[in-house]
């Protein structure tokens, strides 16, 4: 929509408030609202002021005046507010004289915009498509606390096996067995209607949905697959995806989490990310004579991803909890190789004969990643691989067309693995980030703030005792 169309859209829908949403550096939507009368055509140019010092990863208090600049193409009516509310996704800018504002270097959405512009200026391609598969858990209850003398977390799902002997209300059985949530029908799958409600609401708000289903995790793990799109548009859609799933669940007195590993002993939640490059309307990743029908450009793109994976994981798996999912020896995408149709490899090549569907799937990311930073970083790594002609086979990254989870110990030692902790990934990013700085897509200040924020979280986790330590060491 244009600015004029947004104002007309708001009028037709009786909007009384305007909600201005933007993303902080870790990747969480923030918002504030203004009266509908305050929204004018000039607002989309001049912006609306806010305090940047109160947002994670943004400004210090002595230079905190910032602006949100609404993007008219993101206009929707918020489906969860009782008061009719127009919702707009915004970018961040520095205030200044009337006219074009200076974009903010640490605004994740701006970084994603620069990545798309960098792709176009590279001459390699003019369009990149990203398709994330974000998994999440739907729980019936969650309780947690961590204070000086109290540390616990308790989750519950009526579907889970641990409720098979639940007393109180009548117990009707049909609980999910561990790691067997893919794809039993009702009555085992109790979440079909909730997922459908989420999917249909996404469709209503302009986000095409390809499928929805129960995932492997027995305690309510779910997935809704949205259609691929360009970097910024897909990141916008994924932020809306999280907003929709969390709030629809709340309508049903349930709760959604995108934590990578909320349940011990069952599957974690990942966000496998499909990627492809196009130029002049033609796909660049297909070659009928190549391995898995991959073009040379596609192989170089994969080479860039795999050689930079340790650094990318700081952005793709940015929490300490991420590395409770990425554990060698379990069904996690920790093996740094590429392979056709092989879900035990870090890079899977989906099997398809359709040139337009030829893509690569990077499997280590999880949905705690900031999607704007993630898609931008993956694109920059892939383009670096193409420029440097990094053939993954020449660097020991496969292809390996075997079940990597059942290799002998000697064979396993020959295959490199992802970092084992957030600290390792952050250190890798500090040592390998020049590819992100190309064309000022990422800036040093944005990366430094990101690392500082995530390292502080890692330090906080490291300092806190956890319940399992009492079980292991209390009687030492």
Q: Which residues are catalytic?
A: 51, 133, 135, 215, 223, 272, 343, 361, 363
The end-to-end CA distance of the chain, in Å, is: 66
């Amino acid at each position: 929509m244009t600015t004029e169309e947004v104002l007309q859209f708001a009028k037709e829908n009786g909007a009384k408030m305007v909600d201005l949403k933007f993303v902080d550096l870790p990747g969480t939507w923030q918002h504030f609202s203004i009266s509908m009368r305050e929204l004018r055509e000039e607002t989309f140019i001049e912006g609306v002021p806010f305090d940047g010092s109160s947002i994670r990863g943004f400004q210090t208090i002595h230079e905190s005046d910032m602006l949100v600049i609404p993007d008219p193409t993101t206009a929707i009516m918020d489906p969860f507010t009782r008061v009719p509310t127009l919702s707009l996704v915004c970018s961040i800018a520095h205030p200044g004289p009337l006219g074009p504002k200076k974009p903010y270097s640490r605004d994740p959405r701006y970084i994603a915009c620069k990545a798309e512009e960098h792709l176009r200026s590279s001459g390699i391609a003019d369009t990149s498509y990203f398709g994330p598969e974000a998994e999440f858990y739907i729980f019936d209850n969650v309780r947690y606390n961590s204070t000086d003398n109290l540390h616990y977390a308790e989750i519950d799902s009526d579907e889970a096996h641990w409720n098979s002997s639940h007393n109180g209300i009548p117990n009707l059985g049909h609980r999910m067995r561990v790691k067997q949530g893919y794809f039993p029908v009702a009555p085992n799958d109790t979440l079909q209607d909730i997922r459908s409600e989420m999917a249909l609401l996404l469709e209503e708000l302009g986000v095409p949905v390809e499928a929805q289903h129960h995932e492997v995790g027995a305690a309510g793990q779910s997935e809704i697959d949205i259609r691929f799109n360009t970097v910024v548009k897909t990141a916008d859609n994924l932020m809306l995806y999280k907003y929709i799933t969390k709030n629809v669940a709340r309508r049903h007195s349930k709760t959604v989490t995108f934590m990578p590993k909320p349940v011990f002993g069952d599957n974690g939640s990942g966000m496998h990310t499909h990627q492809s490059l196009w130029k002049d309307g033609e796909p660049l990743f297909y070659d009928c004579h190549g391995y898995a029908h991959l073009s040379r450009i596609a192989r170089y793109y994969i080479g860039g991803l795999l050689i930079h994976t340790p650094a990318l994981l700081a952005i793709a798996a940015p929490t300490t909890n991420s590395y409770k999912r990425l554990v060698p020896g379990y069904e996690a995408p920790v093996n740094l190789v590429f392979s056709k149709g092989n879900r035990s490899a870090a890079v899977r090549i989906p099997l398809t004969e359709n040139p337009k569907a030829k893509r690569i799937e990077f499997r280590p990311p999880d949905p705690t990643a900031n999607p704007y930073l993630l898609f931008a970083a993956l694109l920059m790594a892939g383009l670096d691989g193409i420029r440097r002609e990094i053939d993954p086979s020449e660097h020991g990254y496969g292809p390996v067309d075997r079940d990597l989870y059942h290799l002998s110990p000697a064979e396993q030692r020959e295959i490199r693995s992802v970092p084992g902790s957030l600290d390792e990934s952050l250190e890798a990013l500090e040592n390998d980030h020049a590819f992100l700085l190309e064309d000022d897509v990422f800036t040093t200040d944005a990366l430094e703030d990101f690392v500082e924020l995530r390292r502080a979280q890692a330090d906080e986790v490291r300092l806190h005792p956890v319940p399992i330590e009492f079980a292991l060491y209390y009687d030492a």
